[in-house]
Structure 1
Amino acid sequence: MTPAARLSAAIEILADLSARRRPAADALKDWGLSHRFAGSGDRAAIAGILYDTLRRRASAAHVMGSEEPRALVLGMLALMRGLSVDAIAALADGGRFAPAPLSEAERARLADSSLEGAAPFVRGDYPQWLHASLRHVFGDSVVEEGAALAARAPLDLRINTLKGEPEAVKAELSHLHPEPCRFSPLALRIKLDSEGKAPPVSAEPAFLRGEVEVQDEGSQLAAILARPVPGGQVLDLCAGAGGKTLEFAALMDNKGQIYAHDSDIRRLKPMHERLARAGVRNVQVRSPRGAEDVLHDLEGKMDLVLVDAPCTGTGTWRRNPDAKWRVRPGALAQRTAEQAKILEQAAHYVRPGGRLAYVTCSLLDEENGAQVRALLNKREDFSPVSPTENVLALGASGPALAEAALTSREGLLMSPRRTGTDGFFVSVMKRAG
């Protein structure tokens, strides 16, 4: 496919998203199934155009004066990819499979693509209804924080010390030019190409042998800050596919016992294969069984309980740019209700003197500090561990993380702008002995 044809395809898929309001990945998959002539390179390039457009949807609509799919894509080319009017016109020339030629009005708007005077939510490319919540957290930096969330996310890997030696793994992946991440000692970062495409890491021998896992540095840091102790008893209450479960096993050197649970058995499905590939031997998966309480024997016995809570995912907008336009106030209300219930449940499993780690990939105080404050008001036997103390689990990079992140009595908040990671909130609470 020509670059112009790829542009037309992205506009077509964006129109489908607007009409059917569904995840971008589903729309891309359906388009690929009905256009089998498109090769993997074509599909990757089309996905790149689509996701970049979703990243800059608000600002592109402002520049073009329209939210029509064509207008959004054209605006993105100017704002995010920095193409000149002539370069965009060369792609949209009305040729075979190409978008129709630019109108004079489109040319004029593209020539003046300034965002000066635009509303903060436009310049920061986030939903207007979330402005008050984001400003409450970030203050006058809200636009800059939003812009960082609208950028592309890098590809981060975690070296699995159960299977590989760090230096040997780095050497084996040298052709991908990995760079050490800023805070996590076992994190590697791989830059994307100019179109935002990542190399096929899942096909690398090091990945197939379980020596590396794909995991954002922020997620890695959250697991480290939870401080699982070798030989301890750990419950990962919302384990999902097992990313932090696997990291816990490595941090614990396969010693002690980790119980992995999730209320939705479907989310646990990938974990079994991942555990085997990673060489993990100290994890017991407790799958839900209808109304049966499969965790009753763990109450009051856990050294550490991790709640990696379901949330709105506002901290992952770099990776899921369509999600920020699909989230609605009702979803926030539903998530906060779920979080409060899960936190109260989790507290029952913590032994006296044990710890409760609450983690979200959200930037909203409603899902973060407010939830911690609510639990502490109900459970006087729990108290927050100071983030400046907690970061010492990282060693030498700990103080730098505390300085870069936003810290409060309740916990520590990472964001793409401040820490170069996805957005993560981490709170650690200790139960009185």
Structure 2
Amino acid sequence: MRLGGRLAAAIEVLEDIGRRHRPVADALKDWGLSHRFAGGGDRAAIGNIVYDGLRRKRSAGWLLGDDTPRAIGFGALLLEWSLTAQSLNGTLDGDKFAPPLLTSAELQAITERRLADAPPAVRADVPDWCEPLFAQVFGEAWIEEGAALATRPPLDIRVNTLQADRPKVLAELAETGAKAAHIAPYGIRIAPIDGDGRHPNVQAEPAFQKGWFEVQDEGSQIAAALAGAEAGMQVLDFCAGAGGKTLALSAAMDNRGQIFAHDSEKARLAPIFDRMRRSENRNVQIVTKPAELSPLSGHMDIVLVDAPCTGSGTWRRRPDAKWRLTQRQLDTRKNEQKTILEDASRYVKPGGLLVYITCSVFEEENGDQVTAFRGRNAGFAPVDHRALWNGRFPGHEAAMRIGASGGISLSPARSGTDGFYFCAMRRSS
């Protein structure tokens, strides 16, 4: 397929997403199933246009003076593919599978409009209702931070130190352009893709099958490292999900001590079994029933709560979620977080740590939750997060922010990671 056919297909997928209010991954999968003639390169390019369009939906629509799937698809190419309106029309001209060329009205809008003159939320590529949430957290830098969440993400990898070391994995992945991560000591990064390219399928690599590494955002790796799990400890991962942080904590413990992986929705735990077998994490116990948690009460050195959240810190990877999110959903997540923190806190022993993590950038889900929890639980106090960070990642203090509640925040513009929040509270009694 030429670019015209790929753009037409991307517009079709964007129309399907808007019409049926469905996740982008589902829409792309269905398109592929009904267009089996499309090769892997075509599907990757179509996906890139769709994802770029969703990341830059506000700015793409503003640039063309409309917010239709057509405007978003064309805008994505103009903003992210190093094309001009004239070169794009020239490329599409004569392609019978291409959508109609840019009209005179669209060309005029593109010529007359500059993103620098757009409203702040458009430049940040965030919904209008999220503007005060970003301003609350990032202050004058909120537009820059929102825009960073609308960029293409890298592919990050965590070396499994139970099986390999970073030089060994880097050597295996040399052809992918993989480099050592900037902050995480066991992290590896493959840079964001350009144009119509795609990241290598690293899970097809023999090194992955042998358990040498896991795919995990560098921010998630940093949060797990900050938790401070050590050999011999008793650790509870209270919202373990698919087990990414569980495996990272287990490796940090060198398979000594015990880590209990629990999730209230046990179906989320399903992938962890294959991951454990591949990576040889042997100190993990899967706990699915609440009754099995009772003996752990008051005995854990660390209880990690990777709380369900809006996922606003992951909008680079899941840009469709940005436009589906509502205030009501945010309020629902906040109530869940409150309940989960209360439930998890009972398992921390005196002197132990309650670690609260989200992949959100919103203060209402982060520092505000910690402040409210401490108001209800006087026996928990934040650790010195600046000292904790500098002890773990010396020389990288500029990559993080410490909020009024004492927690650490990461964001694409500042740390180059997904957006994460981390707060460790020690129990005194």
Whether these two folds match at TM > 0.5 is yes
Count of residues paired in the alignment: 427
1:22-421 → structure 2 map (5 Å cutoff): 22-93=22-93, 95-195=95-195, 197-288=198-289, 293-394=291-392, 397-400=393-396, 402-408=397-403, 409-421=405-417
Whole-Å Cα distance in 1 between the matches of residues 270 and 30 of structure 2?
A: 24
CA contact (8 A) 2:152 2:193 kept: no
Shift in Å at residue 41 of structure 1? 1.4
What secondary structure sits across from 1:260 in the alignment? strand
1:8 corresponds to: 8
Q: Unpaired runs of 5+ in structure 2?
A: none
Q: C-alpha separation between the residues in 2 aligned to 1:10 and 1:112?
A: 26
Instruction: Provide the C-alpha distance between the structure 1 equivalents of 2:216 and 2:295, rounded to a whole number of angstroms.
Output: 31
Residues 128-148 of structure 1 show CA distances to partners (whole Å, capped at 9, x for unaligned) of 101001100001111100111
Could you tell me how far 1:72 is from its partner in structure 2? 1.2
After superposition, the C-alpha distances for 1:235-258 in whole angstroms (9 at most, x for unaligned) are 000000000000001100000000
Checking the alignment, whether the CA contact within 8 Å between 2:297 and 2:346 is kept in structure 1 is yes
Say if 1:387 and 1:407, in contact at 8 Å, map to a contact too.
yes
Contact 2:7 2:98 in 1 (8 A): yes
Structure 1 residue 87: Cα displacement: 1.7
Q: 2:13·2:28 contact (CA, 8 Å) conserved in 1? A: yes
Tell whether the 8 Å contact from 1:94 to 1:100 is kept in structure 2 after alignment: no
Q: Any conservation in 2 of the 1:336–1:366 contact (CA below 8 Å)?
A: yes
C-alpha displacement of 1:197: 1.3
- In 1, the alpha carbon distance for the partners of 2:332 and 2:162 equals 38
1:92 is displaced (CA, Å) by: 3.6
Equivalents in 2 of 1:211, 1:280: separation in Å?
A: 12
Amino acid in structure 1 at the alignment position of 2:356: Y
One-letter code of the match for 1:239? A
Q: Secondary structure at the match of 1:300?
A: coil
Instruction: Work out whether residues 414 and 424 of structure 1, in 8 Å CA contact, stay in contact via their aligned partners in 2.
Output: yes
1:423 aligns with 2:419: yes
Counterpart amino acid of residue 404 in structure 1: A
Give the TM-score normalised by the residue count of structure 2: 0.97
Letter paired with 1:109: A
Please give the per-residue CA displacement for 1:51-77, whole angstroms capped at 9, x wherever unaligned: 000011001111111111111111222
Distance 2:211 2:339 in 1: 35
Q: CA deviation at 1:165?
A: 2.6
Structure 1 segments (4+ residues) deviating >6 Å: none
Is the contact between residue 6 and residue 45 of structure 2 (CA under 8 Å) also seen in structure 1? Answer: yes
Query: Contact between 1:155 and 1:190, CA under 8 Å: does it hold in 2?
Result: yes
Classify the secondary structure of the residue corresponding to 2:189.
strand
Instruction: Give ranges in structure 1 of 5+ residues lacking alignment.
Output: none
Greater shift, 32-41 or 355-364, is seen at 32-41
State the Cα RMSD in Å.
Answer: 1.3
Deviates more, 1:182-191 or 1:166-175: 166-175
Q: Secondary structure at the match of 2:115?
A: coil
| AA partner of residue 403 (structure 1) | A
Give yes or no for contact 1:314–1:361 (8 Å, CA) kept in 2.
yes
Q: CA shift at 1:314, angstroms?
A: 0.5
Q: CA deviation at 1:113?
A: 4.3
Shift of 1:28: 0.4
2:65–2:106: 8 Å Cα contact kept in structure 1? Answer: no
User: What TM-score does the superposition give when structure 1 sets the normalisation length?
Assistant: 0.96
CA distance in 2, matches of 1:393, 1:211: 26
Q: State the SS of the aligned residue for 1:270.
A: helix
User: What residue identity is the alignment partner of 2:425?
Assistant: M
Alpha-carbon distance between aligned partners in 2 of 1:277 and 1:146, rounded to the nearest angstrom = 37
Query: Larger deviation: 149-158 or 166-175?
Result: 166-175
Please say if residues 78 and 110 of structure 1, whose CA atoms lie closer than 8 Å, have aligned partners that are also in contact.
Answer: no
Task: Summarize the Cα distance change of 1:71–1:92 in structure 2 as closer, same or farther, 3 Å threshold.
Answer: farther
1:399 offset after TM fit, Å?
4.7
Paired AA for residue 277 in structure 2: A
Instruction: Give distance in 2, aligned partners of 1:14 and 1:249.
Output: 41
Aligned partners of 1:59 and 1:123 also within 8 Å: yes
Cα displacement string for residues 208-254 of structure 1 (whole angstroms, at most 9, x for unaligned residues): 11101111110000000011121000000000000000000110000
Separation of aligned partners in 2, 1:211 and 1:83: 40
In structure 2, what is the Cα distance between the partners aligned to 1:81 and 1:39? 20
Query: Separation in 2 of the partners of 1:182 and 1:267?
Result: 30
Shift of 1:94: 6.1
Measured in 2, the distance between the counterparts of 1:393 and 1:29 equals 45
Whether the 8 Å contact between 1:256 and 1:282 is mirrored in structure 2 is: yes
